[in-house]
Structure 1
Amino acid sequence: MSNKRRVPQQDRAERRVAQLLESASAVFAEAGYDAATMTEIAERANASIGAVYQYFPNKEAIVRALRVQYGNEMQKRWTDLESITAGLTVPQIADYLVDVMVRFVEEHPAYFPVLDAPVKYKRDQEGRRHLREQLANVFRNRKPALSQERAYRMANVSLQIIKSMNVLYGEANSRERSELVKEYKLALAAYLESQLISQRSQKPTES
Protein backbone atom coordinates (compact mmCIF):
# COMPACT_ATOMS: atom_id res chain seq x y z
CA MET A 1 0.00 0.00 0.00
CA SER A 2 1.62 3.24 -1.14
CA ASN A 3 1.59 6.33 1.01
CA LYS A 4 -0.21 9.31 -0.42
CA ARG A 5 2.05 12.27 -1.04
CA ARG A 6 1.05 15.53 0.54
CA VAL A 7 0.04 18.28 -1.82
CA PRO A 8 2.50 21.21 -1.55
CA GLN A 9 -0.36 23.69 -1.51
CA GLN A 10 -1.82 21.87 1.49
CA ASP A 11 1.51 22.04 3.29
CA ARG A 12 1.76 25.77 2.64
CA ALA A 13 -1.76 26.31 3.93
CA GLU A 14 -1.01 24.43 7.14
CA ARG A 15 2.19 26.39 7.67
CA ARG A 16 0.30 29.64 7.10
CA VAL A 17 -2.41 28.68 9.59
CA ALA A 18 0.22 27.72 12.17
CA GLN A 19 1.97 31.06 11.63
CA LEU A 20 -1.26 33.00 11.99
CA LEU A 21 -2.16 31.17 15.21
CA GLU A 22 1.30 31.79 16.64
CA SER A 23 1.03 35.49 15.80
CA ALA A 24 -2.49 35.70 17.20
CA SER A 25 -1.42 34.08 20.45
CA ALA A 26 1.39 36.65 20.79
CA VAL A 27 -1.06 39.52 20.24
CA PHE A 28 -3.60 38.05 22.68
CA ALA A 29 -0.88 37.59 25.30
CA GLU A 30 0.24 41.21 24.99
CA ALA A 31 -3.02 43.07 24.43
CA GLY A 32 -5.70 40.69 25.69
CA TYR A 33 -8.56 39.33 23.64
CA ASP A 34 -10.80 42.41 23.64
CA ALA A 35 -8.08 44.87 22.57
CA ALA A 36 -6.50 42.60 19.96
CA THR A 37 -7.43 43.29 16.34
CA MET A 38 -7.26 41.27 13.16
CA THR A 39 -5.02 43.98 11.70
CA GLU A 40 -2.49 43.56 14.51
CA ILE A 41 -2.52 39.81 14.00
CA ALA A 42 -1.89 40.25 10.28
CA GLU A 43 0.98 42.65 10.93
CA ARG A 44 2.56 40.30 13.46
CA ALA A 45 2.37 37.47 10.92
CA ASN A 46 3.72 39.68 8.09
CA ALA A 47 0.56 38.84 6.19
CA SER A 48 -2.12 40.87 4.48
CA ILE A 49 -5.42 41.31 6.28
CA GLY A 50 -7.01 39.46 3.37
CA ALA A 51 -4.79 36.45 4.03
CA VAL A 52 -5.94 36.36 7.64
CA TYR A 53 -9.62 36.52 6.66
CA GLN A 54 -9.00 33.76 4.14
CA TYR A 55 -8.48 31.34 7.02
CA PHE A 56 -10.28 33.02 9.92
CA PRO A 57 -13.42 35.16 9.49
CA ASN A 58 -13.02 36.80 12.92
CA LYS A 59 -11.23 36.67 16.27
CA GLU A 60 -13.72 34.15 17.59
CA ALA A 61 -12.65 31.66 14.94
CA ILE A 62 -9.00 32.19 15.90
CA VAL A 63 -9.78 31.57 19.56
CA ARG A 64 -11.63 28.36 18.73
CA ALA A 65 -8.66 27.17 16.68
CA LEU A 66 -6.27 27.99 19.52
CA ARG A 67 -8.44 26.15 22.01
CA VAL A 68 -8.40 23.08 19.79
CA GLN A 69 -4.63 23.40 19.48
CA TYR A 70 -4.20 23.81 23.22
CA GLY A 71 -6.45 20.83 23.89
CA ASN A 72 -4.46 18.64 21.53
CA GLU A 73 -1.15 19.74 23.04
CA MET A 74 -2.40 19.15 26.56
CA GLN A 75 -3.65 15.71 25.58
CA LYS A 76 -0.15 14.77 24.42
CA ARG A 77 1.26 15.77 27.79
CA TRP A 78 -0.98 13.24 29.48
CA THR A 79 0.18 10.42 27.21
CA ASP A 80 1.69 7.45 29.09
CA LEU A 81 0.36 8.82 32.36
CA GLU A 82 0.18 5.33 33.88
CA SER A 83 3.82 4.48 33.16
CA ILE A 84 5.08 7.91 34.20
CA THR A 85 3.39 7.75 37.61
CA ALA A 86 3.97 4.03 38.24
CA GLY A 87 6.91 4.51 40.61
CA LEU A 88 5.74 7.72 42.26
CA THR A 89 4.35 8.21 45.72
CA VAL A 90 0.88 9.73 46.05
CA PRO A 91 2.27 13.23 46.87
CA GLN A 92 4.62 12.92 43.89
CA ILE A 93 1.66 12.08 41.65
CA ALA A 94 -0.07 15.22 42.91
CA ASP A 95 3.07 17.26 42.21
CA TYR A 96 3.35 15.85 38.70
CA LEU A 97 -0.28 16.55 37.80
CA VAL A 98 -0.10 20.16 38.98
CA ASP A 99 3.27 20.69 37.30
CA VAL A 100 1.92 19.52 33.93
CA MET A 101 -0.68 22.29 34.04
CA VAL A 102 1.74 24.94 35.32
CA ARG A 103 4.32 24.21 32.63
CA PHE A 104 1.68 24.38 29.95
CA VAL A 105 0.41 27.75 31.15
CA GLU A 106 3.93 29.18 31.40
CA GLU A 107 4.77 27.99 27.88
CA HIS A 108 1.57 29.50 26.46
CA PRO A 109 1.27 33.16 27.58
CA ALA A 110 -1.99 33.52 25.64
CA TYR A 111 -3.62 30.67 27.57
CA PHE A 112 -5.60 32.86 29.97
CA PRO A 113 -6.75 35.45 27.39
CA VAL A 114 -7.85 32.61 25.11
CA LEU A 115 -9.52 30.73 27.97
CA ASP A 116 -11.38 33.86 29.15
CA ALA A 117 -12.49 35.00 25.68
CA PRO A 118 -16.32 35.20 25.41
CA VAL A 119 -16.47 32.61 22.66
CA LYS A 120 -18.80 29.64 22.43
CA TYR A 121 -16.75 26.49 22.27
CA LYS A 122 -17.56 22.85 22.86
CA ARG A 123 -14.67 20.67 23.89
CA ASP A 124 -13.95 17.34 22.30
CA GLN A 125 -15.86 14.98 24.57
CA GLU A 126 -13.91 11.92 23.48
CA GLY A 127 -10.60 13.52 24.43
CA ARG A 128 -12.08 14.72 27.72
CA ARG A 129 -13.31 11.22 28.56
CA HIS A 130 -10.02 9.61 27.56
CA LEU A 131 -8.03 11.86 29.88
CA ARG A 132 -10.26 11.00 32.82
CA GLU A 133 -10.04 7.30 32.08
CA GLN A 134 -6.24 7.52 32.02
CA LEU A 135 -6.22 9.22 35.39
CA ALA A 136 -8.75 6.74 36.75
CA ASN A 137 -6.44 3.90 35.70
CA VAL A 138 -3.59 5.56 37.60
CA PHE A 139 -5.73 5.54 40.73
CA ARG A 140 -6.86 1.94 40.25
CA ASN A 141 -3.28 0.81 39.73
CA ARG A 142 -2.47 2.39 43.07
CA LYS A 143 -5.56 0.95 44.78
CA PRO A 144 -7.08 -2.00 42.85
CA ALA A 145 -10.07 -2.17 45.20
CA LEU A 146 -11.41 1.07 43.66
CA SER A 147 -14.34 0.61 41.32
CA GLN A 148 -14.03 2.13 37.87
CA GLU A 149 -16.90 4.47 38.69
CA ARG A 150 -15.24 5.66 41.89
CA ALA A 151 -11.85 6.09 40.19
CA TYR A 152 -13.43 8.07 37.36
CA ARG A 153 -15.14 10.34 39.89
CA MET A 154 -11.81 10.88 41.62
CA ALA A 155 -10.30 11.81 38.25
CA ASN A 156 -13.03 14.40 37.75
CA VAL A 157 -12.47 15.87 41.21
CA SER A 158 -8.68 15.91 40.81
CA LEU A 159 -8.82 17.72 37.48
CA GLN A 160 -11.34 20.18 38.88
CA ILE A 161 -8.97 20.96 41.76
CA ILE A 162 -6.17 21.62 39.28
CA LYS A 163 -8.36 23.73 36.97
CA SER A 164 -9.60 25.81 39.89
CA MET A 165 -6.05 27.16 40.22
CA ASN A 166 -6.39 28.96 36.88
CA VAL A 167 -8.22 32.06 38.12
CA LEU A 168 -5.92 32.70 41.07
CA TYR A 169 -2.81 31.85 39.07
CA GLY A 170 -3.78 34.19 36.26
CA GLU A 171 -4.24 37.12 38.65
CA ALA A 172 -1.11 36.54 40.74
CA ASN A 173 2.44 37.86 40.40
CA SER A 174 5.33 35.43 39.93
CA ARG A 175 6.10 35.08 43.65
CA GLU A 176 2.47 34.49 44.55
CA ARG A 177 2.13 31.98 41.73
CA SER A 178 4.92 29.92 43.24
CA GLU A 179 3.14 29.89 46.59
CA LEU A 180 -0.19 29.01 44.99
CA VAL A 181 1.36 26.02 43.25
CA LYS A 182 2.64 24.74 46.59
CA GLU A 183 -0.80 25.14 48.17
CA TYR A 184 -2.57 23.35 45.34
CA LYS A 185 -0.09 20.50 45.43
CA LEU A 186 -0.79 20.12 49.14
CA ALA A 187 -4.55 20.21 48.56
CA LEU A 188 -4.45 17.64 45.76
CA ALA A 189 -2.06 15.38 47.67
CA ALA A 190 -4.30 15.49 50.75
CA TYR A 191 -7.32 14.53 48.66
CA LEU A 192 -5.54 11.68 46.90
CA GLU A 193 -4.00 10.35 50.09
CA SER A 194 -7.42 10.27 51.72
CA GLN A 195 -8.72 8.14 48.85
CA LEU A 196 -5.73 5.98 47.89
CA ILE A 197 -3.88 5.19 51.08
CA SER A 198 -5.70 2.53 53.06
CA GLN A 199 -5.99 3.33 56.71
CA ARG A 200 -5.01 0.50 59.00
CA SER A 201 -7.56 -0.36 61.58
CA GLN A 202 -6.65 1.18 64.87
CA LYS A 203 -6.80 -0.88 68.03
CA PRO A 204 -8.65 0.86 70.84
CA THR A 205 -6.22 2.42 73.26
CA GLU A 206 -6.04 0.81 76.67
CA SER A 207 -6.90 3.04 79.54
Structure 2
Amino acid sequence: MALSERTEVSFDVALMMALRADAQKELDELPTPAQLKERYPDTSRWDARLKAALHKRHPVLKRVLVAALTLVILTLGALAVSADFRKAVYTMIQKFLPIEMQLTYQVDGEPLEQLSNGYSDHYVPDGFERDYEQGYDNEISFLHAYVDVNDKNIFYYVDCSVIQDYGQVETFDNEHTVYERIKIGTADATLGTSNNGGRTGYVLVWEKDGISHTIIGKISHDELLRIAESIS
Protein backbone atom coordinates (compact mmCIF):
# COMPACT_ATOMS: atom_id res chain seq x y z
CA MET A 1 0.00 0.00 0.00
CA ALA A 2 2.80 2.41 0.83
CA LEU A 3 4.49 1.77 -2.52
CA SER A 4 1.20 2.36 -4.36
CA GLU A 5 0.60 5.67 -2.61
CA ARG A 6 4.16 6.87 -3.30
CA THR A 7 3.83 5.95 -6.98
CA GLU A 8 0.52 7.81 -7.25
CA VAL A 9 1.95 11.02 -5.81
CA SER A 10 4.97 10.86 -8.11
CA PHE A 11 2.75 10.24 -11.15
CA ASP A 12 0.37 13.12 -10.35
CA VAL A 13 3.19 15.60 -9.93
CA ALA A 14 5.06 14.37 -13.01
CA LEU A 15 1.87 14.53 -15.09
CA MET A 16 1.10 18.10 -13.99
CA MET A 17 4.61 19.24 -14.81
CA ALA A 18 4.67 17.39 -18.15
CA LEU A 19 1.38 18.98 -19.25
CA ARG A 20 2.62 22.42 -18.29
CA ALA A 21 5.89 21.86 -20.16
CA ASP A 22 3.98 20.72 -23.27
CA ALA A 23 1.69 23.76 -23.14
CA GLN A 24 4.67 26.05 -22.70
CA LYS A 25 6.35 24.60 -25.78
CA GLU A 26 3.24 25.39 -27.83
CA LEU A 27 3.16 28.95 -26.47
CA ASP A 28 6.83 29.39 -27.37
CA GLU A 29 5.94 28.72 -31.01
CA LEU A 30 3.51 31.65 -31.14
CA PRO A 31 4.74 35.01 -32.55
CA THR A 32 6.17 37.44 -30.01
CA PRO A 33 4.73 40.98 -29.69
CA ALA A 34 7.74 42.29 -31.59
CA GLN A 35 7.14 39.81 -34.43
CA LEU A 36 3.44 40.74 -34.57
CA LYS A 37 4.35 44.41 -34.80
CA GLU A 38 6.82 43.64 -37.60
CA ARG A 39 4.24 41.63 -39.54
CA TYR A 40 1.40 44.12 -39.01
CA PRO A 41 3.01 47.57 -38.62
CA ASP A 42 -0.08 49.51 -39.70
CA THR A 43 -3.50 48.49 -38.44
CA SER A 44 -5.26 51.79 -39.11
CA ARG A 45 -7.30 50.24 -41.92
CA TRP A 46 -8.61 47.61 -39.49
CA ASP A 47 -9.82 50.35 -37.16
CA ALA A 48 -11.60 52.19 -39.98
CA ARG A 49 -13.36 49.06 -41.23
CA LEU A 50 -14.44 48.11 -37.71
CA LYS A 51 -15.82 51.57 -37.00
CA ALA A 52 -17.76 51.54 -40.27
CA ALA A 53 -19.22 48.13 -39.49
CA LEU A 54 -20.34 49.29 -36.04
CA HIS A 55 -22.66 51.87 -37.61
CA LYS A 56 -24.71 49.12 -39.24
CA ARG A 57 -27.79 47.96 -37.33
CA HIS A 58 -26.83 44.36 -36.58
CA PRO A 59 -26.87 43.91 -32.76
CA VAL A 60 -25.16 40.51 -32.70
CA LEU A 61 -22.55 41.55 -35.24
CA LYS A 62 -22.00 44.76 -33.31
CA ARG A 63 -21.24 42.90 -30.10
CA VAL A 64 -18.79 40.63 -31.93
CA LEU A 65 -17.06 43.60 -33.55
CA VAL A 66 -16.84 45.45 -30.24
CA ALA A 67 -15.06 42.43 -28.78
CA ALA A 68 -12.75 42.26 -31.80
CA LEU A 69 -12.01 45.97 -31.61
CA THR A 70 -11.25 45.65 -27.91
CA LEU A 71 -8.85 42.81 -28.67
CA VAL A 72 -7.08 44.92 -31.31
CA ILE A 73 -6.76 47.84 -28.91
CA LEU A 74 -5.42 45.62 -26.14
CA THR A 75 -2.95 43.99 -28.53
CA LEU A 76 -1.68 47.34 -29.78
CA GLY A 77 -1.44 48.60 -26.21
CA ALA A 78 0.64 45.60 -25.24
CA LEU A 79 2.96 46.23 -28.18
CA ALA A 80 3.35 49.91 -27.44
CA VAL A 81 3.68 49.82 -23.64
CA SER A 82 6.95 51.15 -22.27
CA ALA A 83 8.84 50.26 -19.10
CA ASP A 84 7.55 53.39 -17.38
CA PHE A 85 3.97 52.08 -17.50
CA ARG A 86 4.49 48.46 -16.51
CA LYS A 87 3.50 48.96 -12.88
CA ALA A 88 1.07 46.34 -11.69
CA VAL A 89 -0.61 44.93 -8.60
CA TYR A 90 -0.44 41.14 -8.25
CA THR A 91 -2.84 39.04 -6.22
CA MET A 92 -2.67 35.37 -5.18
CA ILE A 93 -6.13 34.02 -4.30
CA GLN A 94 -6.44 30.73 -2.41
CA LYS A 95 -9.57 28.58 -2.59
CA PHE A 96 -9.87 25.34 -0.63
CA LEU A 97 -12.12 22.87 -2.46
CA PRO A 98 -13.16 19.39 -1.19
CA ILE A 99 -10.09 17.56 -2.54
CA GLU A 100 -7.80 20.29 -3.82
CA MET A 101 -6.39 23.72 -3.04
CA GLN A 102 -6.71 26.13 -5.96
CA LEU A 103 -4.50 29.17 -6.49
CA THR A 104 -5.43 31.94 -8.90
CA TYR A 105 -2.85 34.58 -9.77
CA GLN A 106 -4.26 37.87 -11.03
CA VAL A 107 -2.61 41.07 -12.22
CA ASP A 108 -4.07 44.56 -12.34
CA GLY A 109 -1.93 46.50 -14.81
CA GLU A 110 0.76 45.53 -17.27
CA PRO A 111 2.62 42.33 -16.29
CA LEU A 112 6.36 41.92 -16.45
CA GLU A 113 7.71 41.30 -19.93
CA GLN A 114 10.17 38.62 -18.88
CA LEU A 115 12.25 37.20 -16.06
CA SER A 116 15.41 39.13 -15.23
CA ASN A 117 18.67 37.74 -16.59
CA GLY A 118 19.91 34.81 -14.53
CA TYR A 119 16.67 34.46 -12.56
CA SER A 120 16.81 30.89 -11.29
CA ASP A 121 17.25 28.60 -8.30
CA HIS A 122 20.88 28.86 -7.22
CA TYR A 123 21.04 26.12 -4.60
CA VAL A 124 20.92 22.35 -5.18
CA PRO A 125 21.10 20.04 -2.14
CA ASP A 126 23.93 17.53 -1.95
CA GLY A 127 23.09 14.26 -3.66
CA PHE A 128 20.69 15.78 -6.18
CA GLU A 129 21.25 16.42 -9.88
CA ARG A 130 19.14 18.16 -12.48
CA ASP A 131 17.10 16.01 -14.85
CA TYR A 132 17.38 17.86 -18.16
CA GLU A 133 14.92 15.55 -19.89
CA GLN A 134 12.17 17.21 -17.87
CA GLY A 135 11.42 20.91 -17.67
CA TYR A 136 12.25 23.94 -19.79
CA ASP A 137 13.71 27.46 -19.73
CA ASN A 138 12.46 30.53 -21.57
CA GLU A 139 12.13 34.29 -21.12
CA ILE A 140 8.98 34.24 -19.00
CA SER A 141 9.21 30.96 -17.07
CA PHE A 142 11.25 27.93 -16.16
CA LEU A 143 10.67 24.46 -14.76
CA HIS A 144 13.65 22.63 -13.27
CA ALA A 145 13.46 18.99 -12.14
CA TYR A 146 15.95 17.38 -9.74
CA VAL A 147 16.34 13.77 -8.62
CA ASP A 148 18.35 12.03 -5.93
CA VAL A 149 21.29 10.28 -7.60
CA ASN A 150 20.79 7.24 -5.34
CA ASP A 151 16.98 7.04 -5.31
CA LYS A 152 14.90 8.23 -8.28
CA ASN A 153 11.77 8.24 -6.10
CA ILE A 154 13.19 11.24 -4.22
CA PHE A 155 12.78 14.36 -6.33
CA TYR A 156 11.71 17.98 -6.42
CA TYR A 157 10.60 20.58 -8.95
CA VAL A 158 11.17 24.34 -9.06
CA ASP A 159 8.63 26.22 -11.18
CA CYS A 160 8.75 30.02 -11.67
CA SER A 161 6.68 32.06 -14.09
CA VAL A 162 5.87 35.68 -14.88
CA ILE A 163 2.26 36.18 -13.80
CA GLN A 164 0.12 36.82 -16.88
CA ASP A 165 -2.93 39.07 -16.99
CA TYR A 166 -5.31 36.27 -18.06
CA GLY A 167 -5.33 34.79 -14.54
CA GLN A 168 -3.10 31.79 -13.88
CA VAL A 169 -4.68 28.89 -12.03
CA GLU A 170 -2.82 26.08 -10.24
CA THR A 171 -4.29 23.21 -8.21
CA PHE A 172 -2.75 21.07 -5.46
CA ASP A 173 -3.87 18.14 -3.35
CA ASN A 174 -5.99 19.26 -0.42
CA GLU A 175 -7.29 15.92 0.85
CA HIS A 176 -3.98 14.65 2.25
CA THR A 177 -2.13 17.94 2.77
CA VAL A 178 -2.02 20.37 5.69
CA TYR A 179 -1.35 24.01 4.75
CA GLU A 180 0.17 26.83 6.76
CA ARG A 181 1.36 30.38 6.13
CA ILE A 182 5.09 31.12 6.30
CA LYS A 183 7.53 33.76 5.10
CA ILE A 184 10.07 33.46 2.27
CA GLY A 185 12.16 36.54 2.86
CA THR A 186 9.59 39.34 2.98
CA ALA A 187 7.01 37.47 0.89
CA ASP A 188 3.98 35.64 2.28
CA ALA A 189 4.00 31.98 1.24
CA THR A 190 1.81 28.89 1.63
CA LEU A 191 3.47 25.64 2.70
CA GLY A 192 1.66 22.33 2.28
CA THR A 193 2.87 19.20 4.07
CA SER A 194 1.78 15.64 3.24
CA ASN A 195 2.92 12.21 4.35
CA ASN A 196 1.86 9.71 1.69
CA GLY A 197 3.89 6.53 1.32
CA GLY A 198 5.78 7.06 4.57
CA ARG A 199 7.89 9.98 3.33
CA THR A 200 7.07 13.64 3.93
CA GLY A 201 6.46 15.74 0.86
CA TYR A 202 6.03 19.49 0.49
CA VAL A 203 4.47 22.04 -1.81
CA LEU A 204 5.56 25.65 -1.34
CA VAL A 205 3.98 28.53 -3.29
CA TRP A 206 4.38 32.29 -3.19
CA GLU A 207 4.30 35.41 -5.35
CA LYS A 208 6.98 38.07 -5.40
CA ASP A 209 7.56 40.99 -7.76
CA GLY A 210 5.11 39.66 -10.34
CA ILE A 211 6.53 36.14 -10.43
CA SER A 212 4.80 32.98 -9.18
CA HIS A 213 7.05 30.46 -7.42
CA THR A 214 6.27 26.80 -6.79
CA ILE A 215 8.48 24.10 -5.26
CA ILE A 216 7.16 20.54 -5.03
CA GLY A 217 9.14 17.60 -3.73
CA LYS A 218 10.16 15.00 -1.18
CA ILE A 219 13.06 16.77 0.49
CA SER A 220 13.75 17.99 3.99
CA HIS A 221 12.02 21.08 5.34
CA ASP A 222 15.35 22.92 5.79
CA GLU A 223 16.51 22.12 2.26
CA LEU A 224 13.16 23.25 0.87
CA LEU A 225 13.56 26.67 2.48
CA ARG A 226 17.18 26.97 1.33
CA ILE A 227 16.12 26.29 -2.24
CA ALA A 228 13.32 28.87 -1.99
CA GLU A 229 15.57 31.54 -0.53
CA SER A 230 18.15 30.93 -3.30
CA ILE A 231 15.76 31.90 -6.10
CA SER A 232 16.69 35.28 -7.52
Q: TM-score range by the shorter chain?
A: under 0.3
TM-score, normalization: structure 1?
0.22
Higher relative contact order (CA 8 A, sep 6+): 1
Q: Which has the higher helix share?
A: 1
